[in-house]
């Protein structure tokens, strides 16, 4: 029971932080936070919000694809296909997390699930994900990302690290 509560707290905390950050951004641009609608009817993109440093901006972009805008070529069916695939992946992760995961896997899988659910909410609401963190060097910009993306990447990194350490321990 304690494991379930702490894992769910992490997942819901990530979802809340992610949705609040995106909601504040939408509010600053539109003066309101739409509950749903077509991404492109809410605001056009890209939209420079603030130049923070020589290497970091706050921007507003819609990402209709996946990481690094993959699957954009699917056109109008992309959001539905991505929602279905993401739903299955999240379901698998949650099932594994609550039935078979070791203690070391709890945090990484909770980070991944929370981040994926945060982005899934955007896809269901708008058909695209809100991205706003823009790191760049001169004219080269890393693809914009959000809080949910950070949680997914950190979760995957921790999961790989845990796997490597466990494998190394078994070899000795």
Of the residues 18, 122, 131, 134, only one is catalytic, namely 131
Annotation says 122 is catalytic:
no
Catalytic-residue membership of 149? yes
Q: Dihedral of CA 119/147/132/156: which sign?
A: negative
Name the active-site residue from 18, 122, 134, 149: 149
Q: CA-CA distances (angstroms) from residue 96 to 2, 4, 73, 141, 172?
A: 17, 12, 32, 36, 27
3-state class (DSSP) for residue 46: coil
- DSSP string for 112-172: HHHHHHHHHHHHHHHSSEEEEEEEEETTEEPPPB-HHHHHHHHHHHHHHHHHHHHHHHHH-
The residues annotated with a catalytic role in the active site are 131, 149
């Amino acid at each position: 029971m304690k494991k379930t509560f702490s894992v769910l707290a992490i997942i819901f905390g990530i979802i809340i932080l992610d949705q609040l950050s995106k909601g504040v951004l939408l509010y600053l641009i539109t003066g309101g936070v739409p509950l749903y609608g077509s991404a492109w009817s809410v605001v056009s993109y890209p939209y420079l919000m603030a130049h923070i440093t020589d290497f970091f901006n706050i921007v507003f972009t819609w990402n209709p694809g996946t990481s690094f805008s993959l699957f954009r070529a699917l056109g109008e069916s992309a959001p539905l296909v991505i929602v279905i695939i993401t739903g299955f992946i999240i379901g698998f992760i949650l099932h594994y997390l609550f039935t078979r995961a070791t203690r070391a896997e709890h945090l990484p899988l909770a980070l991944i699930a929370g981040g994926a659910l945060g982005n899934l909410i955007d896809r269901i609401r708008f058909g695209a994900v809100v991205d706003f963190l823009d790191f760049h060097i001169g004219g080269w910009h890393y693809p914009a990302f959000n809080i949910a993306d950070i949680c997914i990447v950190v979760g995957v990194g921790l999961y790989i690290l845990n796997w490597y350490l466990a494998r190394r321990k078994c070899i000795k």
